[in-house]
Chains A and B, each alone.
Chain A
Amino acid sequence: MTVALVIAAFLALWWILGQMSLRSFWIQTLNGLSFGAVLFFLASGFTLIFGLMRITNLAHGGFYLVGAYIGIMLMALTGNFFVALVVSALAIMLLGLFTERVLLRPIRGLEKPEVLLTIGLTFVLGDLSLAIWGGDPMPVPVPGFLEGPWRIGDFAYPRYRLFVLICAVVVGVVLFYIERRTRIGAMVRAGVDDRETVAALGINIKAVFTGVFMFGAFLAGFAGVIGGGFLSVLPGQDFEILLFALVVVILGGLGSLPGAVLGAVLVGLIDSFAKALVPELAFFTLFAPMALILVLRPRGLLGRES
């Protein structure tokens, strides 16, 4: 199975290189990776929450949206992008706390009501955002030193998108480190594998749950502000970005952090190259692989059989 996929990937690469110049190829790759970076931020939180708590938090898109709007508001107030970024993410973290403790606690363990409640929450968040911030599309203003292109020779690429890419790498590394090397990470991994035993060991599993949910929400808010730098924020974006995030985790495997990376990279690249080479099919190139993966490997590429 893996061998087949790798061969397919090589064939695709060979064909793509035949269709465009090397320069175009690198630009499209960067385009895809920078978009994938935003998806990674969103999908990683989503997959962590699912992996540990088996909650499919469809309100993640709503978290992204509200995070972005708060980011814009803070930028207008403080003019400092990094302050806006961190504070917005913290605000969404608190929203996550509220969601987990007040809304989801009473129905813990009931998978379907959980999913459906989060859909209801998305409706509310989206409409309240419209009421508060209006419907005008707004980008998150980026700091001056990240505006415009970075030039090397005759190659120019937007600075901000490179920044997003670097952020993703940094965050990814941090997440991996936390998961593999810290005590908290070990608790989370243990909780994913066997909830009851962890609780029996005296670890406050409920606190871990809440913590993970809050962290996932933090990542979503973070994604909103960062993504808002090159994707205008507007009503309806919550569902759109959620859709992409879902494709990412389905491809990569729910509950798996490496899966989120793989999925994000794949989705970003597919989206980018499809738009360039087969714009007619740009929509299907996204969903078709997902459908295929689901039929062949229902748990995603790196998902766990559980």
Chain B
Amino acid sequence: MELVRRLSPTARLKLFLLASAIGVGIALPYLVSPFLVGLATLALIGGLFSMSIDLLGGYGGLITLGQAGVSAAAGYGVGYMANRVGAGHTTQILTGLAVGLLVSAIFGVMAMRSDSVYFIMITLAQGMIVWGLSIRLNRITGAENGLTGISRPAGLTLYWQYYWFALGVVVLCSLLLYVLVRSPFGSATRGIRESESRMRMLGYNTSLQKFYLFMVAGFFATIAGILLVYLNQFISPSSAHLTASAIGVLQAILGGMGTLVGPLIGSFVIVFIRNVVSQYLERWPTLLGLTFIVVILFARRGIVGALSRGWRAWLLRRYGEEMTRADRQAELAADVALGAKTSGPS
């Protein structure tokens, strides 16, 4: 149609990919086994989790190694209400939300004055504190044994029902994030990533801005945590461990930071590696680590970045210099998203 033809090739491609993805996503339970649908659910949730990390990292320039602490705290909120108190699902979810947001707030206050490397280390420690708490507070968290007996809300008990629910929630959150990064909030966030001192000179309270960012990212991590605990119907301290946070970051980088869809793709790839490949390959952690190293060295913008580059090369050959402005702008944004160090005082 007229309007679509006037869209740039890139925009048309994105639209097509989005449509197909949603189509396949909805049709998935009819196409593959329940086990794979379960994995897809897990990948979706992991994608949301990594998106929250990307919000902080790709857009805000702040890499966090403690996001699993937030999502696990939310999960424990749900689990505690379900297992220890026996409350109904609404209470469980509200508690989960409250706990997740509270932890985000506390973490945010601690970390908001830091940047870059210190931020990484603080968040690492924060995540591990949640992990330590979950091991120690036996009465609340069940310690190493974790919390079982967490049933899903009515209408979501079957694997495909839950899958569609998770799909819906993740799509909704993605939309929210899409709007968010294009809002003034998103611009201010990107401003901090590019130069915090400049933002401060412009009159922004950058610490407060970082705090808000932490809260927003924490909100999405909280949602992911609640989705996960209902998927597994179980939670244990390993959900809060550094490894969980690190894998979240890995997924975001692998897929491509500073893009929203990248973390989702990265999540699917990692879930695939961990569950399917590990059947045949005993050394999957090595594979995981190598994937990481290779991506950082040769495809720093991740899968999405690599695909974009290939696409643009093809565009160039096909259309010559007629690259759209949007395309070029997107390219620049992706470059800075990885925190290329600018010389001089930061």
Contact = CB atoms under 8 A, between A and B. Distances in A.
Given A106-B297, A116-B253, A116-B296, A283 B136 contact: yes
A215 B235 CA distance: 43
B300 interface: yes
A110 B285 contact: no
A235 B279 CA distance: 21
B121 interface: yes
Interface in B101-121: 109-111, 113-114, 116-118, 120-121
Contact of B242 (A50, A126, A239): A239
A122 interface: yes
A50 to B, nearest CB: 7
Interface stretch (A31-39, A149-157, A288-296): A288-296
Interface string B168-180: 0000000000000
A294 B110 contact: yes
Nearest to B285: A127
Given A50-B117, A120-B296, A124-B289, A291 B110 contact: yes
Interface stretch (B43-51, B125-133, B194-202, B303-311): B125-133
A90 interface: no
Nearest to A125: B289
Interface in A109-131: 109-113, 115-117, 119-128, 131
Q: Is the interface of B mostly helix, strand, loop or mixed?
A: helix
Contacts of B109: 295
A295 B126 CA distance: 13
Interface in A163-188: none
What interface size band does chain A fall in?
Answer: 35 or more
A246 B290 contact: no
B129 A284 contact: yes
Interface centre among B242, B288, B289, B340 (most CB of A within 10 A): B289
A158 interface: no
B103 to A, nearest CB: 13
Contact of A294 (B57, B118, B253, B290): B118
Given A117-B297, A250-B125, A123 B285 contact: yes
Nearest to B111: A294
Contact of B293 (A117, A131, A280): A117
Contacts of A50: 117
A287 B122 CA distance: 10
A123 B109 CA distance: 31
A188 B292 CA distance: 31
Contact of B117 (A119, A196, A239, A254): A254
Contacts of B246: 119
A299 interface: yes
B117 A284 contact: no
A275 interface: no
B63 A283 contact: no
5 contacts: A117-B297, A127-B283, A280-B136, A284-B129, A294-B122
Given A119-B249, A298-B113, 14 more contacts: A115-B120, A116-B253, A116-B292, A122-B289, A124-B286, A126-B285, A127-B283, A127-B286, A127-B289, A131-B283, A131-B286, A239-B243, A287-B125, A291-B129
9 smallest beta-carbon distances between A and B, as pairs? A123-B289, A120-B292, A124-B289, A127-B285, A283-B132, A127-B286, A120-B293, A117-B296, A120-B289
